[in-house]
């Protein structure tokens, strides 16, 4: 008997269960490793981008010179290795308008000497990317002013203030006038369509003429501001000796990284991160900030949750509490589960056909017919995109809400009914509070799913560059028909559709980092709420 059971040492090892524990443990470790690897990669590439690294002035053996910030260092592939050098470096030399390209590869073996000139300056420009060089002279009008760093910074400050003013006038005052004129035009059109009263049309024309006059005034003001800005110019000497003149008004920021200490660099770093988070994009999204995309993403997630969560909970309540459990309900449950697995682009197409063309088109016909053929709701917008995503995530919500409802013990329901409660009272006062932590878990899943989805958005309302946010100070404040920007789409656009992919690559990582951060932040809020609820109801079931 003893011999039968004891089948040698290997059988013994299996019986202890240790190998199985190792197997499960290593599977988990592998998963964690991949996730940590991904996050680390994104963190590494994403956080370094804003750091103002030193400017290298490189002299090559053949006498050529280059000035720029080190971007990358690579081993040269063996097949096209010419010299004895093992590595080559990539310098961001900027000055795209001069050199034609932002980057230059240099074999390390070709380098004669490298040094870090203290007066080398990085100019971040509104257009054409960075400019690297040495300040030769500063101009105010035709007169040369003393060439000091403080003077340049003062000029920069002054021009930046004016630039802000210009932007404000363009955006707010002129935008406002445009809207008035457009609404008058539509009103006129409406009257014309409805038969037309000559007096009324006259009145409208007069009113609109007064707006045009106001517009002329603003245009004059703008011209003045612009010409006031134009007097400041900088002569910059390139590393090759050539001198170029750039307008101070075109410079966003200028700094000398080689002279900055850790503290100074941190200052520039924070400033650039601030710009990234709170400004609008420049240079076809490869520079500047991504605030509109952050705003659009968060707002879309909220709108989506607003639509998907109540809807999902109500549907789950019916399925779990009221419907007679039978073959039909089981069929619906399977259908809902399958719906969660339908490719998202299919939902996007449905959203385009149903929401945008169907519902949006009808709304336009009935309420905005005077604006036609320009569509108002009959084109992609944040509302339709959110509803499409809500459709996509509602199965997730239903499944998890049902799960949470079924975790409430049936004895608790019976206990409530036995005290004389009606079914509705039981659901509202006992079942839902008990299921709430589980439902919040469902909301977390919905947010995570919705915030990461891009494909359906591309055809229901996301654009590369939205002129205005979906929320602003103009009545009715929420403009749900507007197109919007989205971080996920921004990543795709900057990474693959950008004219300057090399320069935009870090932007992809930082945007990814930000998107992950936002999803994390939204989830953290939900988790905090859930924990508070758990503490209140003291449930241990979830």
Partner 1 sequence: MAEAELAANTQAEAIVPDIQNPIVTVSDLNLYYGETQALFDIDMQIPEHRVTALIGPSGCGKSTLLRCMNRLNDLIDSVRIEGVVTIDNDDIYGPGYDVISLRRQVGMVFQKSNPFPKSIYENLVYGLRIAGENQRAVLDEVVERSLRAAALWDEVKDRLNDSALGLSGGQQQRLCIARAIAVEPSVILMDEPCSALDPIATGRIEETIEDLKKQYTIVIVTHNMQQASRISDYTAFFYLGRLIEMAETSEMFTNPQLKQTEDYVTGRFG
* Residues found near partner 1 in the complex (CB under 8 A): 324, 409, 411-412, 414-422, 425, 429-430, 433-434, 536-540
- If the CB atoms of residues 246 and 537 are measured against partner 1, the closer one turns out to be 537
Sign, Cα dihedral of 300, 164, 476, 372:
negative
SS3 198: helix
Q: Please work out, in degrees rounded to the nearest 5, the angle formed at the alpha carbon of residue 497 by the alpha carbons of 491 and 498.
A: 90
The distance of closest approach from Cβ of residue 396 to partner 1 in the complex, given in angstroms and rounded to an integer, is: 24
Tell the smallest beta-carbon distance from residue 324 to partner 1 (Å). 6
CB of 414 to partner 1, least distance (A): 6
Q: Which is nearer to partner 1, 419 or 501 (CB)?
A: 419
Of 346 and 419, which has the nearer Cβ to partner 1? 419
CB of 422 to partner 1, least distance (A): 7
CB of 290 to partner 1, least distance (A): 43
Say how many Å lie between the first and final Cα of the chain, rounded. 47
Q: How far apart are CA 298 and CA 305, in angstroms?
A: 11
Write down the least CB distance from residue 430 to partner 1, Å: 5
C-alpha–C-alpha distance, residues 438 and 431, integer Å: 11
Instruction: Residue 375: name the closest of 355, 391, 392 by CA.
Output: 355
- β-pairing, 281-282 vs 287-288, is antiparallel
How many whole angstroms separate alpha carbon 286 and alpha carbon 291?
Answer: 13
Q: What angle do CA 287, 291, 297 make, to 5 degrees?
A: 120
How many angstroms separate the CA atoms of 67 and 133, rounded?
A: 7
Structure-token pair, residue 237: 């000497």
Q: Which is nearer to partner 1, 227 or 410 (CB)?
A: 410
Tell me whether residue 23 or residue 418 sits nearer to partner 1 (CB atom).
418
**β-sheet with 111-115: strand ranges across:** 103-107, 87-92, 65-75, 55-60, 111-115
Cα–Cα–Cα angle for 321, 322, 324, nearest 5°?
110
**At closest approach, how far in Å is the CB of 319 from partner 1?**
16
Least Å from the CB of residue 442 to partner 1? 17
- What is the spatial distance between Cα 184 and Cα 204, in angstroms, rounded to a whole number? 7
Rounded CA separation 250/126 (Å): 5
Q: In the bound complex, what is the minimum distance in angstroms from residue 531's beta carbon to partner 1? A: 14
Between 226 and 429, CB nearer to partner 1:
429
CB of 423 to partner 1, least distance (A): 9
Q: Kindly tell me which of 431 and 485 has the beta carbon lying closer to partner 1.
A: 431
| Residue 153 vs 325, nearer CB to partner 1 | 325
Q: How far apart are CA 63 and CA 115, in angstroms?
A: 15
Look at the alpha carbons of 303, 309, 310, 311 in this order and tell me if their dihedral is positive or negative.
positive
- Where b means 16+ CB within 10 Å and e means fewer, 321-348 reads beeeeeeeeeeebeebeebeeeebeebb
Burial class (CB in 10 A: 0-12, 13-18, 19+), 82: exposed
H/E segment holding residue 91 = strand 87-92
Contact 453, 385 (CB under 8 A): no
State the virtual CA torsion across 45, 49, 54, 60 in degrees, nearest 10: 60
Least separation in angstroms between CB 277 and partner 1: 41
Residue closer to partner 1, measured from CB, 206 or 324: 324
Q: Which is nearer to partner 1, 212 or 318 (CB)?
A: 318
User: Tokens at residue 438, please?
Assistant: 């589980």
The three-class DSSP label of residue 125 is strand
Closer residue to partner 1 in complex, CB, 68/437 = 437
Contact indicator for 466, 252 with CB cutoff of 8 Å: no
Query: Which CB, 186 or 421, lies closer to partner 1?
Result: 421
Q: Which is nearer to partner 1, 150 or 411 (CB)?
A: 411
Give least dist CB 429 to partner 1, A: 7
Residue positions counted in the chain: 542
Work out how close the CB of 411 gets to partner 1 at its nearest, in angstroms, rounded to a whole number. Answer: 4
Backbone angles phi, psi at 238, to 5 degrees: -75, 170
């Amino acid at each position: 008997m003893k011999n039968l059971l004891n089948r040698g040492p290997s059988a013994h090892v299996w019986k202890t269960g240790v190998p199985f524990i190792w197997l499960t443990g290593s599977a988990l470790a592998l998963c964690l490793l991949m996730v940590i690897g991904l996050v680390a990669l994104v963190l590494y590439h994403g956080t370094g981008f804003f750091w103002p690294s030193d400017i290298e002035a490189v002299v090559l053996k053949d006498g050529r010179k280059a000035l720029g910030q080190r971007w990358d260092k690579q081993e040269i592939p063996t097949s096209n290795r010419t010299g004895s050098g093992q590595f080559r470096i990539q310098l961001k030399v900027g000055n795209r308008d001069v050199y034609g390209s932002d980057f230059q590869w240099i074999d390390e073996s070709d380098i004669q000497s490298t040094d870090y000139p203290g007066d080398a300056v990085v100019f971040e420009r509104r257009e054409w990317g960075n400019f690297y060089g040495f300040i030769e002279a500063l101009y105010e009008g035709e007169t040369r002013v003393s060439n000091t760093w403080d003077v340049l910074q003062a000029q920069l400050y002054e021009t930046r203030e004016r630039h802000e003013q210009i932007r404000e006038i363009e955006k707010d005052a002129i935008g406002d006038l445009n809207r008035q004129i457009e609404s008058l035009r539509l009103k006129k059109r409406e009257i014309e369509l409805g038969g037309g009263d000559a007096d009324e049309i006259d009145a409208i024309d007069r009113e609109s003429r007064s707006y045009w006059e106001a517009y002329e005034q603003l245009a004059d003001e703008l011209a003045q501001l612009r010409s006031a800005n134009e007097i400041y110019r900088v002569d910059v000497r390139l590393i090759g000796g050539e001198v170029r003149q750039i307008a101070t008004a075109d410079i966003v920021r200028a700094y000398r990284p080689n002279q900055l200490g850790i503290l100074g660099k941190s200052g520039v770093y924070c400033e650039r991160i601030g710009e990234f988070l709170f400004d609008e994009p420049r240079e076809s999204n490869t520079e500047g900030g991504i605030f509109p995309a952050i705003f659009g993403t968060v707002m879309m997630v909220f709108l989506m949750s607003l639509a998907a969560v109540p809807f999902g909970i109500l549907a789950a309540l019916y399925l779990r509490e009221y419907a007679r459990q039978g073959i039909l309900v089981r069929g619906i449950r399977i259908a809902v589960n399958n719906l969660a697995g339908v490719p998202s682009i299919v939902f996007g197409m449905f959203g385009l056909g149903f929401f945008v063309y169907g519902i949006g088109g009808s709304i336009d016909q009935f309420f905005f017919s005077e604006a036609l053929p320009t569509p108002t709701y009959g084109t992609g917008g944040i509302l339709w995109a959110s509803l499409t995503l809500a459709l996509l995530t509602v199965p997730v919500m239903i499944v998890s809400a049902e799960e949470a409802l079924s975790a409430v013990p049936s004895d608790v329901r019976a206990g409530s009914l036995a005290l004389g409660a009606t079914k509705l009272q039981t659901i509202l006062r006992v079942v839902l509070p008990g299921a709430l932590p589980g439902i919040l878990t469902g909301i977390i899943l919905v947010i995570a799913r919705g915030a990461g989805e891009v494909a359906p958005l591309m055809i229901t309302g996301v654009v590369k560059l939205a002129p205005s946010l979906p929320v602003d100070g103009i009545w009715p404040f929420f403009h749900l028909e507007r197109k919007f920007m989205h971080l996920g789409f921004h990543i795709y656009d900057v990474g693959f559709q950008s004219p300057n992919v090399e320069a935009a690559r870090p932007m992809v990582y930082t945007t990814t980092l930000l998107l992950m951060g936002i999803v994390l932040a939204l989830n953290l809020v939900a988790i905090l709420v859930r924990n508070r609820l758990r503490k209140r109801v003291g449930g241990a079931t979830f």
